[in-house]
């Protein structure tokens, strides 16, 4: 598999590191008590992951290149890459 870094161009997958699924971060709780800090939303965000068969949005970093943080949209069944964008330009 090859990824196209917006800064460096097409590169081998071995130059990149997988950083996890793109997920929307839950709102912060008031934090007055430990029970309020630990909501179901945070539990899901930190511990529960889907294993999608199909399109998936993932964070990757170009560790062996420019160190850019990327959002990669790819098909997990075929590994076909649909888009690669800089994470700073892409909302979660």
Q: How far is CA 31 from CA 2, 40, 44, 90, 91, in A?
A: 43, 14, 18, 29, 26
Measured between its terminal Cα atoms, the distance across the chain in Å is: 24
Domain that holds residue 10: 1-24+51-91
Structure-block tokens of residue 41: 């939303």
Residue 68 is assigned to a structural domain of this protein? yes
Query: Could you tell me the CATH number of the domain that includes residue 73?
Result: 3.30.2270.10
Average pLDDT over residues 60-83: 95
Residue 3 is assigned to a structural domain of this protein? yes
Residue 65 is assigned to a structural domain of this protein? yes
Residue 78 is assigned to a structural domain of this protein? yes
Residue 34 is assigned to a structural domain of this protein? no
Based on the structure, what is the number of domains in the chain? 1
Average pLDDT over residues 53-72: 96
- Burial status of residue 60 (CB atoms within 10 A of its CB: 0-12, 13-18, 19 or more): buried
Query: Is residue 12 within 8 Å of residue 62, measured between CB atoms?
Result: no
The answer to pTM > 0.95 is no
In this prediction, residue 50 carries a pLDDT of 85
């Amino acid at each position: 598999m090859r990824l196209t870094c917006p800064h460096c161009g097409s590169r081998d997958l071995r130059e990149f590191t997988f950083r996890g699924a793109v997920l929307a971060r839950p709102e912060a709780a008031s934090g007055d008590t430990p029970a309020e800090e630990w909501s179901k939303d945070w539990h899901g965000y930190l511990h529960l992951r889907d294993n999608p068969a199909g399109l998936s949005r993932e964070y990757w970093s170009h560790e062996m290149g420019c160190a850019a943080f990327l959002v990669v949209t790819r098909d997990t069944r075929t590994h076909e890459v649909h888009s690669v964008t800089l994470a700073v330009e892409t909302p979660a």
